[in-house]
Amino acid sequence: MGELKRFEKKELPFEADLRVDFIRHGRPDYELHPEGALDQEAIYWVLKEAIAFCKTLKPDEVIWFWKSPRNRAQETAIIYESVLEKNGIKIKKIKTQPLAQDASTGPMFYKKVEAARAQDPETSVGWFDFWSTLEEMPADSEGPKDVADRVLQMVQMFDALMKKNPIPSGKKLHIILFAHEEIFLNILQSTIGRKLGKGKGPTYGERMQLDFFKGQKPSDDTTVNLNYRNFDGKFAYHNDRKNPANRNIYSLPE
């Protein structure tokens, strides 16, 4: 009898059932475009990040791009697309996702910002810090809760994709989402369990990685491992099919 052929188990690119990387857009110049465009220095730094990121990808990952409709996020995605393609990595699907856009803010909001700056001229009132801590948002603007609702909708989409698993056996779906600082906020707060202070949010071009894991039973909540800077955290997504109003994300003990 001939020698039996040995079959080695194929190693998957990562353990999670789905990986999602949130990438903040590069530093925008609003003089170049009303929605922000990347100047040569910003392009250089995004290219550097994209090249480093490309080296972390494995052959059996199926790459999808989701991107905010804002110009600064679109340009950041184009740079990543170019780097991946030059390295022979195909992007299977590219989608502009309106849920990933930045917070919509109007004139009434900016009047509040200017009033706060006038009240304390020696303190630099940053847009994000002011927006993320303002208790009463003007009627013409989205607040943190509005953006959190959009993020929850995206997490629900990720959860549904993970369970549907629309890719070939032996491969893993990896979604790369190009978005804004506000989009990180709710997930980081839910995981870290405290509000982000000044300088704690993502810098331009920074990445936050989420690994989604199915529960053992269909009724189990989805668990998500988060990696951000030197921080590892964990949260869960509760999908109440009978009452969608009860869907939420919540932190888990480490």
CATH code (residue 241): 3.40.50.1240
Among the listed ranges 11-15, 42-46, 79-83, 205-209, which one has the minimum average pLDDT value?
11-15
In this predicted structure, the answer to whether residue 6 has a pLDDT above a threshold of 50 is: no
The chain-wide mean pLDDT, for the chain, equals 89
User: Do 193 and 240 sit in the same domain of this protein?
Assistant: yes
Neighbours of 7 (CB within 10 A): 6
Overall domain count for the chain: 2
Q: What are phi and psi of 175, to 5 degrees?
A: -100, 130
151 in a structural domain: yes
User: Do 93 and 176 sit in the same domain of this protein?
Assistant: yes
User: Do 126 and 175 sit in the same domain of this protein?
Assistant: no
Give the Cα separation of 191 and 208 in Å (integer).
12
User: Do 25 and 97 sit in the same domain of this protein?
Assistant: yes
Bridge partners for 178 per DSSP: 23, 67
User: Do 31 and 151 sit in the same domain of this protein?
Assistant: yes
11 in a structural domain: no
Residues in CB range of 80: below 8 A, 6 or more apart: 23, 46, 50, 53, 65, 176, 178
Q: What is the mean pLDDT of residues 181-185?
A: 88
pTM for this entry: 0.90
Residues in CB range of 40: below 8 A, 6 or more apart: none
126 in a structural domain: yes
Domain boundary among 88, 115, 141: 141
User: Do 109 and 229 sit in the same domain of this protein?
Assistant: no
User: Do 129 and 238 sit in the same domain of this protein?
Assistant: no
Residue with the bigger pLDDT between 196 and 66: it is 66
202 in a structural domain: yes
Residue 123 domain boundaries: 105-141
Query: pLDDT tens digit string along 57-101?
Result: 998 999 999 999 999 999 999 999 999 999 999 999 999 999 999
Q: Are strands 61-67 and 91-96 parallel, antiparallel or unpaired?
A: parallel
5 in a structural domain: no
pLDDT value at residue 123: 63
In this predicted structure, the answer to whether residue 118 has a pLDDT above a threshold of 90 is: no
10 in a structural domain: no
